[in-house]
Amino acid sequence: MEQLLYIHNKILIMGFDQYHEPASELSQEVRTFARMIKSLTEEAEAIDWYEQRMAVEKDKDAKKIMEHTQQEEFIHFAMDLEFLLRKKSKWNTIMKNVLFQKGDIIENGEKAEHAVEE
């Protein structure tokens, strides 16, 4: 939600809190990107919250519902991530070189770094 700032009885509309630069100066593409990053972050946070809740929940039916809900959050996270990767080819290259690869994670990360530098 946009924030309103009152200065000398004038209303100034401030950008959404996910912007670090004036929203009016950002392209639609950058604003969409910021929204999707924010969404990805919120989904990750929700996944964490459900993980913590499930760790302490004693009622097996409640825990089962939480597990189902967390799975939905994983799906949302994956969709947000896929959207971002389709928009950023370097990110896509990095992910392909790190995710679901066998071997040392750090070595895979270094290979990914070299892949985007070429």
Backbone Cα Rg of the chain: 20
- Give the whole-angstrom CA distance, residue 27 versus residue 106: 35
Model confidence pLDDT, tens digit, residues 65-115? 999 999 999 999 999 999 999 999 999 999 999 999 999 999 999 999 999
Torsion on CA atoms 38, 41, 47, 49, rounded to nearest 10: -90
Average pLDDT over residues 37-48: 96
Predicted TM-score (pTM) of this structure: 0.78
Quote the pLDDT of residue 17.
66
Q: List residues bridging with 3 in a β-sheet.
A: 14
Quote the pLDDT of residue 1.
45
How many angstroms separate the Cα of 50 from the Cα of each of 46, 53, 72? 6, 5, 11
Three-state secondary-structure class, residue 79: helix
Three-state secondary-structure class, residue 60: helix
Quote the pLDDT of residue 6.
54
Render 79-90 in DSSP notation, one character per residue: HHHHHHHHH-HH
10 Å Cβ neighbour count for 63? 16
